[in-house]
Amino acid sequence: MGRPREFDDAAVVDAAMEVFWSKGYESTSTEDLCVRTGLGRGSLYNAFGSKHGLYERVLRRYAEVGFGLQAEILDGPGTVKERLRALMIDVIDTDLGDPAKRGCLAVNAAVDAGGTDAVVADQVLRQFSRFEAAVREVIARGQRDGEVATDVNPLVAARLFVSAYYGLRVLGKVVHDRRVLEDVVEGALARL
């Protein structure tokens, strides 16, 4: 019988998330992960199999936490446009308020490894698709309630919105002028 684990998996994943988010997958060393999580190399590999295995867990955790926050705003009070605007303003506030300019971990993963790592690409695509489906449903509900024009294709509108949303996450890493980012928001919402 093996020794029982003496650490909290969720806390380790959250600590590792901070390292991967700040440094990227390739630039993160096992030593970085050990220092941040407080685990030895053996414990880290026994628990997660590999650096990549831990990264996959980090991406799943990021997706769950992120979607929870997105869903809270999408399901909140206000009109469809108000909720979609609130979602985009929230990421503008988050990104402009982050001195490290980390952006979105999922976007970073897509850019860093998405084209060469099928597992990462699949995880990120699932996250993006889940968000798209939630936005599409909000837009379709808005049509049923008379808030969104009936000639708008909810799927196309959701895809445009999601593209603008994730584009904001990229722009937020380099653009410091809030008005530029808010123009993206208004442009995305004008279609509705």
Q: Is the pLDDT of residue 145 over 90?
A: yes
- The token pair at 30 is 């096992």
Q: Is the pLDDT of residue 25 over 60?
A: yes
Residue 115 neighbours by CB distance under 10 Å:
10
Q: Is the pLDDT of residue 126 over 70?
A: yes
In this predicted structure, what is the pLDDT of residue 16?
A: 96
In this predicted structure, what is the pLDDT of residue 1?
A: 44
Q: Is the pLDDT of residue 150 over 50?
A: yes
DSSP 13-80: HHHHHHHHHHH-TTT--HHHHHHHH---HHHHHHHHSSHHHHHHHHHHHHHHHHHHHHHHHHTSSS-H
pTM: predicted TM-score of the whole model, two decimal places: 0.91
Q: Give the pLDDT band of residue 4 (cuts 50, 70, 90).
A: very low
In this predicted structure, what is the pLDDT of residue 191?
A: 82
In this predicted structure, what is the pLDDT of residue 114?
A: 62
Residue 48 to residue 168: CA distance in whole angstroms: 33
Residues 33-82 have pLDDT tens digits of 999 999 999 999 999 999 999 999 999 999 999 999 999 999 999 999 99
